[in-house]
Structure 1
Amino acid sequence: MNPLDTLIREHVVPVMKAAGFAKKGRIFRRSAPNGDHAFLHIDADAVDPERFVFEASFWMVPLSSWEFAYRNHAGAGTPNASGALAACKVIPPEAAAHQPDEEGYFRSRWAFVEPDTRDLCGRELARVLTEEAVPWMVRLLDRKTLLAETRTNPNGELVRLDDATTSEILLRIDDDPVAEVTALVDKAEADGVFPPLVAWSRTRLARRTAQES
């Protein structure tokens, strides 16, 4: 077995399984009752011949975001990270970092030497997932929480992948009062926001109104 997969099996699977995530390959998925999804991805980086280097990241995919992204694809299937509205890197502590003195993108890489530091790296990843990343992912499955956190810090650790107006509409369109969301869509149209978003939103709001009447 690839040493990275051994690390995942021994240290990541127990944490994610306990939190209600299902595994496929190096991706872990948890869904909410409304169809929103959270994903944890673990991706290898072939950048160092002497160490196994990888990144861990999580992706928040509200069902509304997925359905808007794939609005022109009938039967797009089960959501995946390509429809994410927000994402975040799981940052390693210094002991498990590939380049602990770096800043920015390269600081997000985890690394271990096989077999010497694999267990150390795995334990640190499990700890960060248990104490920080997984509880955050679960909280962000609530759309109001995701909206609040993408409003307050959209380009910090949690990166908003859509503009503020698009994110607001997608996160409010299924639950907030129809009149309030319609006013938001009207303003977006007046401001020249992406016309397909306006058209899609009006159709979804009309359907919701019909279902609720």
Structure 2
Amino acid sequence: MNSLDTLVKQHVAPVMKAAGFAKKGRIFRRAAPNGDHAFLHIDADAVDPDKFVFEVSFWMVPLPSWEFAYRDVPNPTAPNASGALATCKVIPPDAAAHQPHEEGYFRSRWAFVEPDTRDLCGQELARVLTEEAIPRMVRLLDRRTLLDDIRTNPNGELVRLRDAVTSEILLRIDDDPVADVEALLYKAEADDEWALPFVTWARERLARRAAKET
């Protein structure tokens, strides 16, 4: 077994399973009752011949975001991170970081030496997941919480993958008053001449919802 896979099996899988996440390879998935998903990805980086280097990130996939992204695909697969609305790196503490004194993108890389520091790195990752990342992912499965986060921290560690108005529409389209969402659609049309496919899709979804509610 690859050393990174050993770390994942021994240290990551138990805490993710306890939090209700299903495992497939190095990807962990948890679904909310409304079809929204949270994913945790562990991805190897072949950047250091002397260490196992990898990155950990989570991806928030509200069902409307997934369904818009795959609107033209017949019988799409179950949601995955390609339909994410937001993503966030899980940052290692110094003891498990590949470049602990680096700033920016490269500071997100985890690393260990096999076998000397694999368990230390795995224990630190399990701790960060348990104390920080998992509780945050679970909170962000609530659309209102996710909306509040991307509204109040637009340039924070949680990276929004769509523009602000589109993100807000996707997070409000199934639950908020139809008139309020319609007002946002008019704003999307006014702000972006390329928004027509999205606006058309959103209005059709709103119409179906309104028909069910009458």
TM-score by length of structure 1 reads: 0.98
> Structure 1: any 5+ residue segments left out of the alignment?
none
SS in 2 for 1:44: strand
Deviations 1:57-116 (A, max 9, x none): 000000000001111112112000000000000000000000001000000000000000
Establish whether residue 35 from structure 1 lines up as the match of residue 35 from structure 2: yes
Tell me which amino acid in the other structure corresponds to 2:26: R
Task: Give how far 1:190 is off.
Answer: 2.6
Task: Give how far 1:210 is off.
Answer: 0.6
Give 1:177's aligned residue: 177
Give 1:139's aligned residue: 139
1:66-85 residue pairs with structure 2 within 5 A? 66-85=66-85
Measured in 1, the distance between the counterparts of 2:74 and 2:15 equals 35
Task: Give how far 1:50 is off.
Answer: 0.4
Give 1:211's aligned residue: 212
Deviations 1:95-138 (A, max 9, x none): 00000010000000000000000000000000000000000000
Measured in 2, the distance between the counterparts of 1:150 and 1:33 equals 22
Query: Across the two proteins, how many residue pairs are aligned to each other?
Result: 213
Measured in 1, the distance between the counterparts of 2:119 and 2:82 equals 31
Measured in 2, the distance between the counterparts of 1:86 and 1:192 equals 20
Task: Give how far 1:186 is off.
Answer: 1.7
> Structure 2: any 5+ residue segments left out of the alignment?
none
Measured in 1, the distance between the counterparts of 2:62 and 2:196 equals 21
Task: Give how far 1:21 is off.
Answer: 0.1
Task: Give how far 1:154 is off.
Answer: 2.2
Measured in 1, the distance between the counterparts of 2:184 and 2:102 equals 41
Give 1:97's aligned residue: 97
Measured in 2, the distance between the counterparts of 1:56 and 1:192 equals 34
Deviations 1:138-193 (A, max 9, x none): 00000000000011112211000100011000000001011111111122223335
Tell me which amino acid in the other structure corresponds to 1:163: D
Establish whether residue 200 from structure 1 lines up as the match of residue 201 from structure 2: yes
Deviations 1:7-52 (A, max 9, x none): 0011001100000000000000000000000000000000000000
Alignment RMSD (CA, Å): 0.8
Give 2:44's aligned residue: 44
Measured in 1, the distance between the counterparts of 2:166 and 2:191 equals 12
Tell me which amino acid in the other structure corresponds to 1:209: A
1:97-176 residue pairs with structure 2 within 5 A? 97-176=97-176
Tell me which amino acid in the other structure corresponds to 1:196: P
TM-score by length of structure 2 reads: 0.98
SS in 2 for 1:42: strand
Question: Identity across aligned pairs (percent)?
Answer: 79
Tell me which amino acid in the other structure corresponds to 1:4: L
